[in-house]
Homo-oligomer: A and B are copies of this chain.
Amino acid sequence: MAQEKLRKEETLAMRNRLIGQSCRLFYSEDPVKIVRARGQYLFDENGKRYLDCISNVQHVGHCHPAITKAAAAQMDVLNTNSRFLHDNIVLYADRLAATLPQKLCVFYFVNSGSEANDLALRLARQYTQHEDVVVLDHAYHGHLMSLIDISPYKFRKLAGQKEWVHVAPLPDTYRGIYREDHPDPGQAYADTVKDLIEDVHKKGRKISAFFAESLPSVGGQIILPQEYFPKVAEYVRSAGGVFVADEVQTGFGRVGHHFWAFQLQGDDFCPDIVTMGKPMGNGHPLACVATTAEIAGAFTANGVEYFNTFGGTPVSCAIGLAVLDVIVEEDLRGNAVRVGAHLKDLLTKLKARHEIIGDVRGVGLFLGIELVTDREKKTPATEADQICVSTDGPWENVLKFKPPMCFGMENAELVVQLQKHLTLTLQIITERSMCNINQKFISTNLPKTLEE
């Protein structure tokens, strides 16, 4: 195909030679070479089509023409840095502000969710003048040094836990310390944070921030119990800290009825800082920190400039604006509600027939299926790679779905059909990740002519 410049073996040999191996290929024993994509479909070098269940970055669909058009048009006109006055950055910030509680009205544009979380940590510390951070168990907030420190998922394998980091239990009502049968798991889990803060104070230390994904993703596609965030925010603020909602994976309407996943915790709940990233530029490196005027003011008041070379350029913001337009024009939030509910319903029906499915959970197009070998004991079915691969959660036994938002009803049905048959009639890619790769997808032999 025209999109292929090298034979696959040659690409693979060059990859192994030239690219750092710390980033593993998908299906590293027999890597897939994808040469083009459109909507929710990927195509390999032989034209074989794959249904993409995991690319949450390509939020409005792979290679959406409206995004390409907006990017190319702005690239042709201007792409300076954000020290120049420009309309795009302010129009984009204004549009984002309209999706958020009024209090979150100041924006910093950066290039990745990791840069956003690093800046959020700086903002929290500058504002509170405290150092310590509370995070959820199994959390992952990014690849930078500062973020490995606040990511139990990473620091347990690396440098270990810093004295200023405190890990609260993951509020997982399926297999956590408080479960479905608890009368008020939101309050109970929030109390664990309250207790942790008291311990921190006894050590003479002070809390700068509580960091959490609005729906813990690496933690296992967890839906938090109601009232957890508002209660935690109350305790954290009482301790002089701020509440940081990491929406890098979950924002921009993925959960359907709400634009942000933290809004699932009630209309009155408002974080002090929200970080966003992956879906924001549909693949373009674009991320952001939103915060209050007070926190931003404290950061400005230190008198030291924060400048991000590529953050908030006219091109990045043109792309960001185009993504917001497509979400509205194609009613992708409505689609997430409808298709997500249908898929969840189909999976729940599947659960009735298959003992291995311990739990089906999620909201909108953010879904998880937890596989177990024993429903009573909830033993993680880590090696159950006949259905599909365990892909997330502490035991890597949570199969997750976070497809492009244009995922359709027929796609949902195909996924369930594939799993229902538990056969290899339709090829299911099932290689187990060697190093905690969190994403898998399903390949089908559907005729490639279906696409366009």
Tell me the smallest distance from the CB of A23 to a CB of chain B, in Å: 5
- A31 with B285, Cβ < 8 A, contacts A112-B309, A145-B146 known: no
Tell me the smallest distance from the CB of A150 to a CB of chain B, in Å: 11
Q: Do A36 and B78 touch (CB < 8 A)?
A: yes
Tell me the smallest distance from the CB of A6 to a CB of chain B, in Å: 5
Given B36, B157, B300, B309, which contacts A304 in the complex, CB threshold below 8 Å?
B157
Among A78, A286, A299, chain B packs the most CB atoms within 10 A around the CB of A78
Given B6, B37, B90, B299, which contacts A80 in the complex, CB threshold below 8 Å?
B37
Does A58 belong to the interface (CB within 8 Å)?
A: yes
Does A55 belong to the interface (CB within 8 Å)?
A: yes
A308 to B8, CA, bound (A): 23
Does A122 belong to the interface (CB within 8 Å)?
A: yes
Does A310 belong to the interface (CB within 8 Å)?
A: yes
Q: Do A85 and B37 touch (CB < 8 A)?
A: no
Q: Do A144 and B118 touch (CB < 8 A)?
A: yes
Q: Do B113 and A112 touch (CB < 8 A)?
A: no
Residues on the B chain within 8 Å of A177, using CB: none
A291 to B21, CA, bound (A): 12
Tell me the smallest distance from the CB of A130 to a CB of chain B, in Å: 13
- A34 with B86, Cβ < 8 A, contacts A63-B77, A67-B75, A80-B42 known: yes
Comparing A9-17, A227-235, A383-391, A407-415, the segment that makes contact with chain B is A9-17
Copies of this chain in the oligomer: 2
- A305 with B24, Cβ < 8 A, contacts A19-B312, A86-B11 known: yes
Tell me the smallest distance from the CB of A406 to a CB of chain B, in Å: 15
A77 to B58, CA, bound (A): 13
- A144 with B115, Cβ < 8 A, contacts A19-B107, A58-B80, A87-B5 known: yes
Encode A423-452 as 1/0 by CB contact (under 8 A) with B: 000000000000111010000000000000
Q: Do A17 and B105 touch (CB < 8 A)?
A: yes
Tell me the smallest distance from the CB of A341 to a CB of chain B, in Å: 28
- A437 with B305, Cβ < 8 A, contacts A5-B87, A121-B145 known: yes
Does A394 belong to the interface (CB within 8 Å)?
A: no
Q: Do B157 and A303 touch (CB < 8 A)?
A: yes
Tell me the smallest distance from the CB of A387 to a CB of chain B, in Å: 21
- A76 with B65, Cβ < 8 A, contacts A24-B305, A71-B71 known: yes
- A68 with B75, Cβ < 8 A, contacts A20-B106, A86-B33, A310-B112 known: yes
A439 to B108, CA, bound (A): 20
Does A154 belong to the interface (CB within 8 Å)?
A: yes
A33 to B85, CA, bound (A): 5
- A23 with B305, Cβ < 8 A, contacts A91-B5, A106-B18 known: yes
**Residues of A with Cβ closer than 8 Å to B?**
3-6, 8, 11-12, 14-15, 17-26, 31-37, 42, 55, 57-58, 62-63, 65, 67-68, 71-72, 75-87, 89-91, 93-94, 97, 105-108, 111-115, 118-119, 121-122, 143-146, 154, 157-158, 277-278, 283-286, 289, 291, 296, 299-300, 302-310, 312-313, 315-316, 435-437, 439
Instruction: Knowing that A5-B91, A22-B108, A24-B305 touch, tell me 10 more A-B residue pairs with CB under 8 angstroms.
Output: A12-B85, A15-B89, A19-B108, A23-B83, A23-B307, A37-B80, A58-B80, A63-B76, A67-B75, A285-B285
10 CB < 8 A contacts A-B: A8-B85, A11-B85, A14-B90, A19-B82, A23-B306, A57-B310, A58-B79, A144-B144, A154-B304, A285-B286
